[in-house]
């Protein structure tokens, strides 16, 4: 399989058209089926399995930043059959700012408007704890309606954490990010935004020539050069200290440009765009809400506390020692006699047939004598009954 031109079959999309390739990923368009028919999407796929971690990181960052309106929309993620990661995102028909600049530098008002949108979006992702670390014209997309979408998050990382090496060329990177590619700072994004706006109005990266920032045209809005110079200062402490502050300064430039042309001294313009961090009365930007001091709190009067009488402890009662009791050996219980054996039952006659002092036959015991007499009586009674039955049969005796 050609790793540089990934197919659209693995992402559920139709035939593809490659937009760009790099050592990390391939970016191509595809048609995806939807409820109202097919719609175009952009697929970003890793060129090899080793780049999957970076693609997965970018997809996770985009999913985390979906609450920011100016961030490109992510649709889904997945893996091809060969194990390479990919994700799909919205298709921006207007291309990127880099494509827009092929026709030449943009107007100052348009570039300032784009700069405000990019700075506001960067401030929103900074509030969510993410540093972009790779803002450049190729990663800023334009929708069909002309709205900007911030993309290219392959180098993004949590603020202060160690991130991947940035992808764009060094001319878009802050000097501290060139020196330490793993750093993740907000001020590096401020530099990249200033460099992008400078590129929009001049067609070249800042500091293309060693020395100071090259001057803008004579028709540039008042204060724009000063704002871009402060935003792209090599020393991070000399820049605007946040993306919202840079956006505010660009709005000041737009406000100056909207005013009727009137001669303004450079000092007046410089005062309006001067970095707040360099002012003597510097406060954090955005400024915190000031809390008005309330009325002074009068402490309540102290109430004298009466001394309490000393507590006399009760006298100690001597405890008599308890004499030791010698241990008494246990008395063994008396032996229990075995239960008597049950007596042999004696067969006795009923009271009406009992005979006092029966005579014993030879070899007969006293217990066997009553039994023997009872049997004899039973035999006699049986013979009498038989004779009575025979008499009644032979002689007609009454029974």
- CATH topology for the 9-90 domain: Phosphorylase Kinase; domain 1 (3.30.200)
Nearest Cα neighbor of 132 from 79, 195, 215 is 195
Question: Is the pTM higher than 0.85?
Answer: no
Can you tell me the distance from the alpha carbon of 144 to that of 122, in angstroms, rounded to the nearest whole number? Answer: 22
DSSP H helical segments within 103-185, as ranges? 108-127, 175-179
Predicted confidence pLDDT, tens digits, the chain (399 residues): 344 444 444 445 455 678 888 778 889 888 888 788 888 999 999 988 888 988 999 999 999 999 998 999 999 999 998 889 999 999 999 999 999 888 888 898 999 999 999 999 999 999 999 999 889 998 999 999 999 999 989 888 888 877 666 655 667 788 888 888 777 789 999 999 999 999 999 888 888 777 778 888 888 888 888 899 999 998 998 899 999 999 999 998 888 877 765 555 555 555 566 665 555 444 444 444 444 444 455 556 666 677 777 777 777 777 777 777 666 677 788 888 887 766 555 555 555 555 555 677 677 777 777 788 888 888 888 888 888 888 888 877 565
Instruction: Please tell us whether the domain made up of 97-278 is placed in CATH 1.10.510.10.
Output: yes
Contacts of 226 (CB under 8 A, 6+ apart): 269, 270, 273, 274
Neighbours of 21 (CB within 10 A): 15
């Amino acid at each position: 399989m050609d790793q540089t031109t990934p197919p659209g079959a693995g992402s559920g999309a139709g035939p593809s058209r490659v937009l760009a390739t790099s050592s990390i990923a391939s970016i191509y368009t595809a048609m995806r089926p939807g409820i109202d028919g097919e719609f175009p999407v952009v697929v970003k796929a890793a060129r090899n399995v080793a780049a999957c971690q970076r693609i997965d990181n970018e997809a996770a960052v985009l999913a985390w930043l979906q609450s920011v309106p100016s961030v490109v929309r992510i649709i889904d993620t997945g893996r091809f059959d060969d194990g390479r990661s990919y994700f799909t995102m919205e298709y921006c028909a207007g291309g990127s700012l880099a494509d827009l600049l092929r026709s030449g530098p943009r107007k100052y008002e348009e570039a300032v408007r784009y700069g405000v949108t990019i700075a506001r979006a960067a401030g929103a992702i900074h509030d969510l704890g993410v540093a972009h670390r790779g803002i450049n014209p190729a990663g800023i997309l334009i929708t069909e309606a002309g709205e900007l979408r911030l993309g290219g998050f392959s180098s993004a990382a949590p603020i202060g954490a160690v991130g991947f090496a940035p992808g764009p060329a060094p001319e878009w990177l802050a000097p501290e990010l060139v020196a330490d590619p793993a750093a993740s700072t907000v001020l590096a994004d401020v530099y990249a935004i200033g460099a992008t706006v400078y590129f929009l109005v001049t067609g070249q990266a800042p500091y293309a020539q060693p020395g100071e920032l090259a001057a803008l045209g004579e028709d540039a809005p008042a204060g724009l050069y000063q704002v871009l110079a402060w935003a792209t200062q090599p020393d991070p402490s000399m820049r605007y200290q946040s993306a919202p502050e840079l956006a505010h300064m660009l709005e000041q430039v737009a406000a100056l440009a909207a005013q009727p042309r009137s001669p303004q001294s450079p000092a007046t313009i410089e005062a309006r765009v001067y970095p707040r961090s360099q002012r003597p009365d510097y406060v954090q930007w955005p400024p915190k809400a000031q809390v008005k001091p309330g009325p002074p709190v009068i402490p309540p009067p102290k109430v004298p506390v009466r001394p309490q009488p000393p507590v006399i402890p009760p006298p100690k009662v001597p405890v008599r020692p308890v004499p030791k009791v010698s241990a008494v050996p246990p008395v063994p219980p008396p032996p229990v006699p075995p239960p008597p054996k049950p007596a042999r039952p004696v067969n006795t006659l009923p009271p009406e047939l009992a005979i006092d002092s029966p005579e014993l036959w030879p070899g007969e015991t006293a217990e066997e004598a009553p039994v023997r007499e009872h049997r004899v009586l039973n035999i006699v009674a049986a013979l009498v009954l038989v004779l009575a039955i025979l008499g009644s049969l032979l002689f007609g005796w009454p029974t």
